[in-house]
């Protein structure tokens, strides 16, 4: 038994190597062995995976992806119209099967110290399927944007419309205005490619958005009343939690409706996927604010440039903008605790930096330091319309604290602090080229999954490959900055900021 287990481990390793090591990088005998192993196991996996969407093979656990036929049996299937689309060549391998998967973890330990037997998670690969479950002539799709703004929202809407129209011949595509409440409050807006032609060049969301307004029964009743059978929900973690409830209610009622989420968060705090759309644009725009703060700081005697960036629960924008800029002396994010006074505190660090260089640039994510900012009793329990705790302005608080500190310790010395908050400038800009390309692939990959009959999922890149992920997993997963990995160490080696650990 022990020998068989070891064999399985080595076979899995060989398969992994054959998938991820370029063929020209290893000698021909090993190349033959790996190719043969991969071919055998791929055929074996295809046979088993075709009969199950929740299995464990060679220590790989394929996550179950809900299909409408899981709860509705008498549904007609159709040949994918891409077969007759002049812009596509449906050569062998074009259509994906249940055997096409994406691994969540592709790191392999070649030292012989193999990881624990916990199965490595895998997800169905995104893309077109040979058989679809929706007749394009009867599809009535709804698209809604919820929550805050993010670069790329209009691009996603545009590409959903264009993709449904051009790839599958869908003609009834509707936009829902003003977020979740729009389902039961406003009339849907009929969309077509001509109408949305230039939306990708515009910031914000033309469909308009709002927070809150989630009433499950009213929303699902409205979906039924309007005859929608495909619902595309674009929003952040709160919106995704709402999408889970809508999906579960649709399934409970056994409705012939596919519900899909498209995760939107400029903070890049969605778990599992590589990154969320709009993040690259946000980092690029954040650098402009950092550059301005640096110019202001170095142009003054004892000048400090203070920049507050988005990031309620994670500091990805602050971290990546800092690494890209190289002008930042200290970066404060929600994942680390910091303190002001005493040895190893922020004030001592800034004092030393001002003495050394004459200026300093400080970047802080909006969710940083919330536990040390004084609050009134009413502020402690205050929530926004989405039910999130209301954050105090850490940037304004830091500016005040820094002024008080300098006036107390250096009363007769010049001191200047410039506070820049570019939040709404960043959120409202159109997506850059990288994010526009990402939004296009994201929207089209999502359409393929919905047309194939999958439901209750989100689409996103995992290790560079687009995959379908159960929406309830994404709604719960968080993408935190790992302050123990190489990227954070690299930043600290560049800035030499303190680790804020009290001695």
Same domain, residue pair 263 and 124? yes
In a domain, 15, yes or no: no
CB 383 within 8 A of CB 390: yes
Whole-number pLDDT of residue 60: 86
Domain boundary among 400, 429, 458: 429
Q: Taking the complete model, does pTM exceed 0.75, yes or no?
A: yes
Whole-number pLDDT of residue 346: 95
CB 239 within 8 A of CB 147: yes
CATH number of the domain enclosing 148 = 3.40.50.450
Same domain, residue pair 400 and 466? no
Residue 502 marked ligand-binding: no
Same domain, residue pair 149 and 249? yes
Residue 265 marked ligand-binding: yes
Whole-number pLDDT of residue 375: 86
Residue 366 marked ligand-binding: yes
CB 54 within 8 A of CB 64: yes
CATH number of the domain enclosing 388 = 3.40.50.460
Residue 303 marked ligand-binding: no
Same domain, residue pair 316 and 344? yes
Report how many domains make up the chain: 2
In a domain, 215, yes or no: yes
| Dihedral class, residue 93 (left if φ above 0, else alpha if ψ from -120 to 50, else beta) | left
Whole-number pLDDT of residue 116: 56
In a domain, 105, yes or no: no
Whole-number pLDDT of residue 492: 82
Burial (Cβ within 10 Å: 0-12, 13-18, ≥19) of residue 446: buried
First-residue to last-residue Cα distance in the chain: 51
Whole-number pLDDT of residue 17: 40
Q: Which of 483, 218, 138 is nearest to 333 (CA)?
A: 483
Whole-number pLDDT of residue 495: 77
Q: Which of 244, 167, 242, 174 is nearest to 211 (CA)?
A: 242
Backbone angles phi, psi at 77, to 5 degrees: -105, 155
Residues of the chain under the 50 pLDDT cut: 1-53, 55-56
Whole-number pLDDT of residue 115: 55
Same domain, residue pair 269 and 325? no
CB atoms within 10 A of CB 331: 27
Range of the domain at 125: 120-277+431-476
Whole-number pLDDT of residue 57: 56
Residue 239 marked ligand-binding: yes
Catalytic positions are 267
In a domain, 72, yes or no: no
Same domain, residue pair 436 and 416? no
Q: Which of 3, 2, 66, 7 is nearest to 41 (CA)?
A: 7
Whole-number pLDDT of residue 118: 66
Whole-number pLDDT of residue 485: 84
Same domain, residue pair 318 and 416? yes
Residue 310 marked ligand-binding: yes
Same domain, residue pair 345 and 422? yes
Same domain, residue pair 272 and 290? no
Distance CA 63, CA 13 (A): 21
Same domain, residue pair 253 and 339? no
Domain boundary among 429, 452, 485: 429
Residue 112 marked ligand-binding: no
Distance CA 102, CA 274 (A): 13
């Amino acid at each position: 038994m022990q020998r068989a287990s070891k064999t399985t481990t080595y076979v899995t390793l060989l398969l992994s190597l054959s998938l991820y090591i370029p063929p020209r990088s290893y000698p021909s005998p090993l190349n033959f062995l790996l190719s043969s192993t991969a071919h055998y196991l791929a055929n074996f996996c295809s046979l088993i995976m075709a009969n199950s969407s929740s299995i464990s093979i060679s220590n790989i656990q394929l996550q179950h992806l809900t299909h409408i036929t899981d709860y509705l049996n008498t549904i007609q299937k159709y040949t994918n119209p891409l077969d007759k689309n002049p812009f596509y060549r449906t050569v062998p391998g074009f259509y994906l099967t249940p055997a096409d998967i994406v691994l969540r973890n592709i790191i392999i330990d070649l030292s012989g110290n193999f990881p624990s037997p916990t199965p490595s998670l895998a997800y169905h690969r995104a893309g077109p399927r040979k058989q679809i479950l929706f007749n394009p002539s009867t599809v009535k799709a709804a698209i809604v944007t919820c929550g805050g703004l993010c670069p790329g929202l209009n691009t996603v809407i545009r590409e959903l419309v264009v993709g449904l129209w051009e790839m599958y011949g869908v003609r009834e595509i509707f936009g829902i205005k003003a977020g979740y409440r729009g389902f039961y409050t406003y009339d849907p807006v009929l969309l077509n490619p001509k109408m949305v032609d230039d939306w990708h060049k515009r910031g914000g969301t033309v469909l308009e958005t709002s927070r809150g307004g989630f009433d499950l029964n009213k929303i699902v009743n409205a979906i039924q009343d309007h005859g929608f059978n495909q619902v595309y929900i674009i929003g952040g973690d709160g919106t995704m939690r709402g999408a889970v409830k809508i999906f579960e209610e649709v399934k409970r009622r056994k409705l012939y409706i596919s519900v899909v989420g498209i995760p939107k968060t400029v903070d890049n705090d969605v778990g599992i996927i590589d990154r969320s759309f709009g993040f690259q644009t946000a980092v690029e725009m954040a650098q402009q604010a950092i550059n301005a703060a640096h110019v202001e700081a170095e142009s003054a005697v004892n000048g400090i440039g203070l920049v507050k960036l988005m990031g309620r629960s994670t500091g990805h924008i602050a971290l990546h903008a800092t690494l890209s800029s190289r002008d930042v002396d200290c970066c404060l994010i929600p994942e680390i605790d910091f303190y002001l006074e005493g040895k190893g505190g922020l004030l001592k660090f800034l004092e030393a930096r001002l003495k050394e260089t004459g200026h300093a640039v400080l970047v802080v994510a909006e969710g940083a330091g919330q536990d040390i900012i004084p609050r009134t009793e009413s502020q402690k329990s205050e929530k926004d319309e989405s039910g999130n705790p209301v954050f105090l302005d850490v940037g304004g608080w830091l500016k005040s604290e820094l002024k008080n500190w300098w006036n107390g310790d250096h009363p007769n010395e010049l001191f200047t602090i410039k506070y820049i908050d570019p939040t709404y400038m960043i959120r409202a800009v159109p997506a850059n080229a990288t994010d526009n390309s990402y939004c296009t692939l994201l929207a089209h990959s999502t359409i393929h999954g919905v047309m194939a009959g999958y439901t209750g999922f989100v689409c996103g890149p995992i290790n560079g490959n687009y995959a379908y992920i159960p929406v309830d997993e994404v709604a719960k997963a968080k993408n935190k900055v790992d302050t123990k990995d190489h990227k954070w160490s690299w930043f600290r080696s560049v800035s030499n900021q303190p680790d804020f650990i009290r001695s």
